[in-house]
Chains A and B, each alone.
Chain A
Amino acid sequence: MELKSKRRDPLGELDIFDPDTGSMVRRGLGANRANASPEALSVLADETIWALGQEVSFGQAVAQGILSIIQQSPTCLQTYRTGVRTAGAKGPTLGRLMAIHLVPVLTADHTRIRHLFCKAFEVMEKAGAYTLTKPLEALDRILHGGDHRSAEIYLSLLCTAFSREMPYNRRQQLAALLPKAAFQYAPAKRPWQLSQLERVMRVDDRLALALMTGMDKGLDLLSALALSRFVSQGLERCEPDRQRAEKFFALESRSGRSVFDELQVAASFCQVQPQLNRYLQARTGRKLTVRLVSALSMRGGDTPFDSGGTFSDRKHIYLPNEVERFETKTDNVRVYKCLARFEAGLHEFGTFRFDLERALELCRENQQCFLLPDPAQSGIQPSVAVSDLERFFNLFPEPLLAEDLFLIFEHGRIRHLLEQSYPGLVSTCLPMFQQEARMLLSKGLNRQALIPIYARIACGLSPEDSERELSGESRLVRKTAELFDTAMQRRVPTAETSGELVAASYAVVNTQLDPCRRAAGIRSYQPLQTPFLRRIRPDLHQISGLRIERLARSIKMHLADRGIHIYASVLRDYLESRRGELGTRDIEKILRDPKNYTNKARTARQPICRDRVDVALQAVAFGTDTESELPAAQHSNCPAFWYPEWDCRLGDYLSDHARVLECAVEGHASKFYESTLIRYAGLVQQIRSVFELLKPQGLKWYRRWIEGDEFDYHQLLDFALDRRAGRTPSERLYIKRLKALRDVAVLLLVDLSRSTANAVAGSDTSVLNVEKEAIVLFSEALQVVGDRYAIAGFSGAGRLGVEYFQIKDFSDPLDDDVRCRINAMAPRRNTRMGAAIRHAASRLSAETCRVKLLIMLGDGFPNDLNYKKTYAVEDTRRAIAELRAQGVHVHAITVNMNPANASHLDELFGDIHHNLITDVTDLPDRLWRIYGALTR
């Protein structure tokens, strides 16, 4: 009997039982088959066959499970077997869950987790098998991330939660929310966040649900201690009144909010983002905004700085997710502000305008002791993706050291320039950087020998401060600082000056650092650690502007071929400011300034001939838009209207080019309108009173009437005077108050493009939903003031399919139909603005009011198939101009747009005819105000 079992072929048996599973197992085993013990194989086959006997999916899960742990110890296999058997005895569904989720638990090899898992499984199974699926999936993911501590607490939380008595609905809710929460929390904070959740759960599950809501609203920003204090305070409130505590935890009560505000010390990116963006726009006047470091897709994680820190590319300053460096929130917000302010300096003072050619010329002029090879002599055309700065660093034997030195001198240069232009900025922000630098200094120097130099030059620490901690290197620090100070005094320093300083100091620093490094036993170069991990990332900057770079290099090359030598950085700047288009006249302008010539040109002294420039520019090919036109959507039974479109390339109209289809809107009933009114009850009240006030203003006084409400004293006086003078007095002695007709017709044209479906930052509602709320309030306001108004939406795809949705016509009363149609407004496709405006104009022209107004509400620029950029902007501008010529006032409101693009809105609508509302949630409060101001 025994002999027989030894010769047994378990996999063969499995094949006979179920060939599909058998082949799956063979595939899964693959190369491991030789390593797997015969016992393990027979367990695999036996258990799988047993499970297959119950249900196919159960059997396959078991097979998969055993395959994943087949390399583990026999005890482990035994535990798995027992676990699955016990669960499987209660039914294949439970068995399958166990078969799947026991695997990561066993792989984690952690006794307590295993124990807790069994307990939790039992508890949840009792509570109802439906509670198992999602929570266990989340456990898998946590364990997969290697976070054993969180897994432990999470399991214990599950035990506590599901051993409580509660109604079915709530249990279901918990089964959905607990795993979601556990996975959402940041791994670093997850353990203590979950344990606080458990603490609350022990008291009351409803409170735990409230706490999870609160976490979504910002409680996750609290530190461990702060969260624990918050929970304690909440639990104290629970004693007398559970509902109060619920509101407290969900941050719905005022006391909850205020305790949270008190305890919160971390500043989060979302809180400071709009503020910083506005600041950067004002400060630099460029398209520069802040962005999360995590928004940057990592490319291989080549340096430790990819995981955090502060740096810039062409359009963004990357900042950390949250700052919790200091004890108060104000200080942490200040960290963000200081970082943004200093980083803005890099953009303002041209760090990324570094020109390799110019830097090398500068080095040679000043006879730098370090001899740099001339990259031009190598004859290799460098890749466009490699920036001038990187190419410069690569000239040195140790590029990373050169990069760090550049960082030191460049940050020093920016500090120097900031001190001159913005003394207030430096006096408020620099101390913070100095404090950080001191902290880094005190941490020990063996690994980071450049820190004292950084502290001295970039942070401006006094010699005493930066040299206190070191003895041997103080001479190096002093010498480098002297070198830097002299360079800063010489003239206005540029990024190339920093490059020159790198070349001047590289050799000395390298020889001094070498013994240091050897003493510490470090072979490879360790990059410098700066306060708040600030770095200069020329690579990112380069990648975000490849098109410009390619053009600049190509123009430079073609010009050089024709004997015209100018710096690439000059071309780059021009191209950037002209949005990638450069003409002969621009080049001529560049050529007029001798500073733009390279040394080569100065020696060659060739006269510049316009023809050569022209030929060079022609040689540079520009890309064209090649998108094909899609067939227009099928709208067979909508009334169609044809409109011309302005083609700026032709300088003429294309007649009957765009077809506008007036689509019927199927309204659908919902509580949206009413709930908006309720949500904004306070505001609605205010709107009503403000617009009531607008109305009496419309009650005009008419003087010199024959009959009226009261005497006009001016006229009475004249009457008396005339009588005395013997003239016939006028009988027009009265003032009459008449309701002046606010003879206004307004059409609100709403852009329903796809982008309006985007979620509003920090909430789960969409841009369009907020717009709709604004429309509700707007209608309320107009209802009060009594102006004639219409609401319409537009979208579409292609020139033949522009859709125009009539939500409310001028003559429609604001009834349930209209309300339903407002509800039904939904994001559609593109934005062919010109045609929609022309159609709106035809609607408005039918109105007889004296003042006609078109308000456009949108979230971006016109964009459709073959309707892009300049073409689209020009056509829209044209359409607006046509309207203005007809005496219709046009005003645009743009929401949710990056303020950096706002200058283009001036081009589109004219600088006083539009409003930009960066934060769309302000719209409901702003729309009616803007209308009020427009018709004041």
Chain B
Amino acid sequence: MAETSAAETDGYRIDREPFYLPAGDELKLFQAACDARLPVMLKGPTGCGKTRFVEYMAYRLARPLITVSCHEDLFASDLIGRYLLKGDETVWVDGPLTRAVRLGAICYLDEIVEARKDTTVVIHPLTDHRRYLHIERKGEMLRAHPDFLMVISYNPGYQSVLKDLKQSTRQRFVSLEFGYPDPEKETRIVANEGGVDLQVAARLVSLAGKIRRIRDQGLMEGASTRLLIYAAKLVHHQTPQREACRTAISLPLTDDRRLQETLNDLIDDYFAGDGTEIKTA
């Protein structure tokens, strides 16, 4: 296998270390899976740090990272590549998956359940002992670069029974489970990412803890770390704390007015009286 040139991978390298606080031994496990060339599935609710983790690992392992956000109209050819006309020539252009296979990159398929079922099948030979990609149009059997690693993410809280991962897909991956970080770590994450002091971050995290307790009251999922960071960012940009929380936490989480009122009550417990009185409808 030819060594990949630096120029090819440039666009996919992560130059600055992303901020990531390990919650458990996921770094070690990922490293081990990587060494053993096993594909990895990241399970967890939205906004708990799955994507950030992959970025961080790509940085640590110094590998290019190619991310594909999956959606319903994603075809196999969108992943593998196709011929294009250039002047009078026909030129083959690699899709993101093929590129990752050649470059020895980490290919990260975000929200894999969203993709069409027939699409997910093309990754099957890549994710077992065979490690090759069959490019039908070119008639090419592309062996994966030794550094190539397949990572997919999957949110089990996603409720549609019609969009479950097939067993044949599931059983090709080792799984790392992600949850919301513990309060102390989450506080550091929110403070660091959102640019607020530790006290405000701690309050945001404590607030999120309370909201996560009433998940089954109609919230599909609890307040994610990402939402907390958004709230913190708004605060950092001079938004009054209470308004920031309403904008970044209570309104995105639900459309149910009564539930919003409860969320606002909880927000008020922490952030009312910071100089802003908000008129409620």
Contact = CB atoms under 8 A, between A and B. Distances in A.
Given A424-B242, A427-B273, A428-B273, A851 B161 contact: yes
A337 B218 CA distance: 21
Contacts of A425: 268-270, 272
A16 to B, nearest CB: 74
B60 interface: no
B216 A915 contact: yes
A851 B166 CA distance: 12
A427 B272 contact: yes
Interface in B188-219: 206, 210-211, 213-214, 216-218
B37 to A, nearest CB: 31
A729 to B, nearest CB: 11
Interface stretch (A207-215, A274-282, A457-465, A510-518): A274-282
B274 interface: yes
8 contacts: A278-B262, A282-B266, A428-B268, A703-B75, A714-B77, A912-B157, A916-B217, A934-B160
Interface stretch (B49-57, B82-90, B104-112, B124-132): B82-90
A529 interface: no
A521 interface: no
Give 7 nearest A-B pairs by CB, closest first: A427-B273, A424-B272, A425-B269, A889-B161, A721-B90, A282-B210, A422-B269
B267 to A, nearest CB: 8
Interface string A892-922: 0000000100100110000110111110000
A589 interface: no
Q: Which of B82, B85, B217, B261 has the most CB of A within 10 A?
A: B217
B162 A718 contact: no
Nearest to B209: A285
A341 interface: yes
Contacts of B213: 281-282, 285
Contact of B82 (A714, A720, A724): A714
Given A703-B75, A724-B90, A891-B159, 15 more contacts: A278-B214, A282-B266, A283-B266, A285-B210, A341-B269, A421-B206, A424-B242, A851-B161, A889-B161, A899-B217, A906-B216, A911-B216, A914-B216, A933-B160, A935-B161
Contacts of B272: 424-425, 427-428
A933 B216 contact: no
B271 interface: yes
B183 to A, nearest CB: 13
B268 A424 contact: yes
Given A889-B161, A912-B157, A936-B162, A282 B273 contact: no
A718 B274 contact: no
Interface of A: 274-275, 278-279, 281-283, 285, 337, 341, 421-425, 427-428, 703, 714, 717-718, 720-722, 724-725, 742, 744, 851, 853, 889, 891, 899, 902, 905-906, 911-912, 914-918, 933-936
B119 to A, nearest CB: 12
Contacts of B262: 275, 278-279, 282
A722 B92 CA distance: 12
A283 B159 CA distance: 26
Interface string B247-281: 00000000000110110011111111110000000
A935 B270 CA distance: 39
Nearest to A428: B272
A689 B210 CA distance: 37
B273 to A, nearest CB: 3
Contacts of A721: 83-85, 90
Contacts of B160: 933-936
B112 to A, nearest CB: 17
B95 interface: no
A194 B18 CA distance: 72
B11 interface: no
Contact of A278 (B157, B163, B259, B269): B259
Contacts of B242: 424
Interface in B62-113: 75, 77, 82-85, 88, 90
A912 B156 contact: yes
Given A714-B82, A721-B85, A721-B90, A916 B271 contact: no
A275 B258 contact: yes
Contact of A724 (B88, B137, B157): B88
Nearest to B91: A721
A925 to B, nearest CB: 11
Interface of B is mostly: helix
Interface in B223-265: 242, 258-259, 261-262, 265
Contact of B90 (A725, A851, A899): A725
B137 A718 contact: yes
Contacts of A744: 162
A916 B216 contact: yes
Contacts of A275: 258, 261-262, 265
Contact of A424 (B77, B84, B273): B273
Interface string B153-193: 00011011111000000000000000000000000000000
A905 B266 CA distance: 24
A906 B157 CA distance: 13
Contact of A281 (B162, B214, B258, B274): B214
Nearest to B266: A282
B184 to A, nearest CB: 15
Contact of A282 (B77, B156, B211): B211
Contacts of A851: 161-162
Contacts of A341: 269
A275 B273 CA distance: 22
B103 to A, nearest CB: 25
Contacts of B271: 423-424
A341 B88 CA distance: 75
Nearest to A283: B210
A714 B265 CA distance: 53
A165 B214 CA distance: 58
A24 to B, nearest CB: 60
Q: Which of B75, B85, B162 has the most CB of A within 10 A?
A: B162
A278 B262 CA distance: 7
A718 B159 contact: no
A611 B44 CA distance: 43
Contacts of A283: 210, 266, 269
Contact of A905 (B210, B216, B269): B216
Contacts of A714: 75, 77, 82
A102 B202 CA distance: 71
B159 A933 contact: yes
Nearest to B160: A936
B109 to A, nearest CB: 20
B90 A424 contact: no
Contacts of B156: 912
Given A275-B261, A899-B217, A912 B83 contact: no
B90 to A, nearest CB: 4
Contacts of B210: 282-283, 285
A423 B270 contact: yes
B82 A424 contact: no
B163 A279 contact: no
Nearest to B85: A721
Given A425-B268, A427-B272, A714-B82, A274 B258 contact: yes
A717 B86 CA distance: 12
Contacts of A891: 159, 161
Contacts of B84: 717, 721
Contacts of B85: 717, 720-721, 724
A421 B270 CA distance: 7
B256 to A, nearest CB: 9
A902 B267 CA distance: 23
B221 to A, nearest CB: 9
Contacts of A902: 216-217
A3 to B, nearest CB: 85
Contacts of A899: 214, 216-217
A721 B77 CA distance: 15
Q: Which of A425, A720, A905 has the most CB of B within 10 A?
A: A425
